[in-house]
Structures are given as C-alpha cells and as structure tokens.
C-alpha cells in the first residue's frame, strides 16, 4: 500500500492527502517531521511530504506527488481532459503557491513565534499577496469551482495554499484575502463543507499540540 509521510498540520501534506482521498486511493499515513531521521530515510532533502509508492519508489515535493497520483491512478482524474482547461488548472496552482502561500509563509514566524519583521518586509509581502489576489480574481470562475462545475487540483491546491495567508494577513498586514477576491469566501466555505475537508481539518487540529512541541523543541 502507498504510504504518505508527513504531518497533518502541514498544508503541503494536506494537499496530497486530500488528492489521495478525493481519488479514493488507499494509503497509510506515517506522521514524521522535517529534518528528522525518519523523514531523511525517505527524502534526502528532509522535507515533507514524501511518498513511498506501492512499488517502493520514494518521491517528494507535493507537486510531484500529485502529478504521480494522476499518472498512476487515472481513475477519478483531478486534471480536466481538455488541454486548455488543464493549463488553466496548472496556472491557478502556480499562482496559489507563488503569490499566496509562499509569500505569506515569509511571515509565519511572526504568527507562530512572535518574530518582529521590518515594515519594508511587511509591505513587500503585502504587495505580492495583492498580486496573487488580483490574479485569482482574473483567473477563477467560481462556477462553483475555480474552473467550472467540476472540482480539480486547482481547488485542492488553493484550499491549503490559503491557510497561511488567512493567518498572517489579518494578524500582520491589515489585509484579508477572503475579502480581496469576490466569491472566494463562498468557495472556501463550500470546500470546507465536504467530508474529506472535515476529516483533514480534524486531523490538523488534533496534530497542533504535537507540532507546536516539535517546533519549540531545541534543534
């Protein structure tokens, strides 16, 4: 059986976990943390998530993992058949990661560890986030999903990419991504209402104390 290595507080772990569950793929979830012997045993970069396939191949990087799942398990595809729409899905995934998740991640220590950042950094992050919000406004249909009537990997990617902007925006930037993109709040509520999302959110909540202990422990 396929094994997913990572921890439920990680949004990148949860992107892959949601895709696995959405596609109906049976898997084991092995909770491991970054830069530990357990994760180095399956991923030389020491990052999560990682995956051990049913044939024993070890893979890492969330984008690689979801592409692998689409190739290895073509049933219940999460990429559209139409190549033009598939391109839009990939574009939305990249925008979600580069201009929303990674930009906001720079300020995560301010939320989790009360680290102070200079105003110049805060302004820079906000500019990138605003670019991401503008791009999302231009690219997303919300009909009701990002590219129409069917859920795709763009929806899964964005749901978990938004977790950090939703934390740092209101707390540190006086900016709320949910208000910046018309239709995003309703889409987010729809995505959160599914049984899969509820299970992943519950697992994340249950993992919070252990994850906080991990990041506060001496390294």
Same-domain pairing of 106 and 171:
yes
Same-domain pairing of 116 and 164:
yes
Same-domain pairing of 92 and 131:
yes
Inter-CA distances, 154 with 16, 87, 120, 137, 197, Å? 12, 10, 31, 14, 15
Same-domain pairing of 42 and 94:
no
Please count the structural domains in the chain.
2
The verdict on residue 14 lying in a domain is: yes
Same-domain pairing of 151 and 108:
yes
The verdict on residue 202 lying in a domain is: no
The verdict on residue 204 lying in a domain is: no
Domain boundary among 77, 97, 120: 77
Tokens of 10: 């990680």
Identify whether the C-beta of residue 95 lies closer than 8 Å to the C-beta of residue 132: yes
Same-domain pairing of 68 and 52:
yes
Same-domain pairing of 146 and 173:
yes
Residue 130: which domain range?
83-182
H-type alpha helices, 34-95: 37-40, 62-72, 83-95
Q: Which backbone phi and psi does 181 adopt, to 5 degrees?
A: -120, 115
Task: Encode pLDDT of 161-211 as tens digits.
Answer: 999 999 999 999 999 999 999 999 999 999 999 999 999 999 999 999 999
Same-domain pairing of 110 and 38:
no
Q: Which pLDDT belongs to residue 219?
A: 65
Q: Which pLDDT belongs to residue 206?
A: 98
Q: What is the CATH number of the domain that holds 18?
A: 3.40.30.10
pTM of the entire predicted model = 0.96
The verdict on residue 6 lying in a domain is: yes
Q: How many CB atoms are closer than 10 A to CB 180? A: 17
Same-domain pairing of 95 and 158:
yes
- Per the DSSP assignment, residues forming a β-bridge with 217 are none
Same-domain pairing of 98 and 118:
yes
Same-domain pairing of 16 and 101:
no
Domain boundary among 62, 77, 92: 77
Task: Encode pLDDT of 31-87 as tens digits.
Answer: 999 999 999 999 999 999 999 999 999 999 999 999 999 999 999 999 999 999 999
Residue 218 has pLDDT above 80, yes or no: no
Task: Encode pLDDT of 104-161 as tens digits.
Answer: 999 999 988 889 999 999 999 999 999 999 999 999 999 999 999 999 999 999 999 9
Same-domain pairing of 89 and 70:
no
Identify whether the C-beta of residue 97 lies closer than 8 Å to the C-beta of residue 156: no
Q: How confident is the model at residue 216 (pLDDT cuts 50, 70, 90)?
A: confident
Domain boundary among 30, 58, 77: 77
């Amino acid at each position: 059986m396929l094994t997913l290595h990572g921890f439920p507080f990680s949004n990148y772990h949860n992107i892959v976990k949601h895709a696995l569950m959405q596609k109906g793929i049976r898997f084991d979830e092995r909770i491991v943390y970054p830069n530990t012997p357990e994760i180095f045993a399956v991923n030389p970069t020491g990052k999560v998530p990682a995956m051990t396939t049913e044939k024993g191949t070890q893979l890492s990087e969330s984008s690689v993992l979801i592409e692998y799942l689409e190739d290895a398990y073509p049933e219940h595809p999460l990429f559209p058949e139409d190549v033009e729409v598939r391109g839009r899905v990939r574009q939305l995934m990249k925008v979600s990661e580069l201009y929303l998740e990674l930009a906001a991640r720079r300020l995560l220590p301010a939320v989790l560890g009360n680290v102070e950042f200079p105003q110049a950094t805060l302004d820079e992050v906000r500019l990138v986030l605003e670019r991401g919000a503008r791009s999302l406004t231009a690219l997303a249909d919300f009909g009701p999903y990002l590219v129409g009537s069917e859920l795709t990997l763009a929806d899964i990617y964005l749901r978990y990419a938004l977790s950090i902007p939703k934390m740092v925006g209101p707390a540190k930037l006086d900016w709320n991504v949910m208000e910046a993109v018309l239709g995003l709040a309703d889409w987010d509520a729809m995505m959160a209402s599914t049984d899969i999302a509820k299970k992943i959110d519950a697992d994340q909540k249950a993992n919070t104390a252990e994850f906080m202990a991990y990041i506060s422990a001496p390294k």
